[in-house]
Amino acid sequence: MQQTLPPGIERVLITAEELADANRRMAAAIAGDYAGQSIVLVGVLKGAVFVTADLARALAEAPGAPTDVQLDFIAVSSYGNAHRSSGEVRLVQDTTHAIEGKHVVIVEDIIDNGHTLHYLRAMLGNRQPASLRAAVLLDKPYHRAVDVTVDYTGLTCPDEFVVGYGLDYQERYRTLPYLAKLRPDVLPA
């Protein structure tokens, strides 16, 4: 049976099953690094809300899982209502708990130019965590402007503007269970 796509969507690029597999692979790698320890997953809002939740659940099922997984969130902005990053990152909402002395994993939906993750690594690193790593569901290396370390990567993203599974275009399409490409007539030139 053919899936009916929402208006504005050209095609599915990465299925819900592929996203779930990527989360399980990242969870297994994180569990291997933090077996028997407590960690804090810091999800980057709004885009990483689904990957943070699914990664936390996958960690609970991973062999050798951390003993305790806490969740916190941070919100930054570099897009506004545009479909390309401005490159200037600003803090919109800080974490709610101190991370000093804790093992922290930043959870990002996508890394493109690298500015956001570079900003977060510097800011959170200054707070003296016991360790600081980054898990990124989608690596989009085609336009990297900043050299930044990603410790856990789910999938390589096609060089397309993608929506779904937390990623949006003007606050639309976040709740799609897959990643999709927008029709060309939806995005401004």
The catalytic residues are 112
Contact residues for 123 (Cβ-Cβ < 8 A; gap 6+): 91
Distance in angstroms between the alpha carbons of the first and the last residue of the chain: 34
Spell 130-144 as b/e; 16+ CB within 10 A means b: eebbbbbbbbbeeee
The DSSP bridge partners found for residue 44 are 74
- From the list 104, 112, 51, the residue with the least C-alpha distance to 79 is 112
CA 85 to CA 81: how far, in whole Å? 10
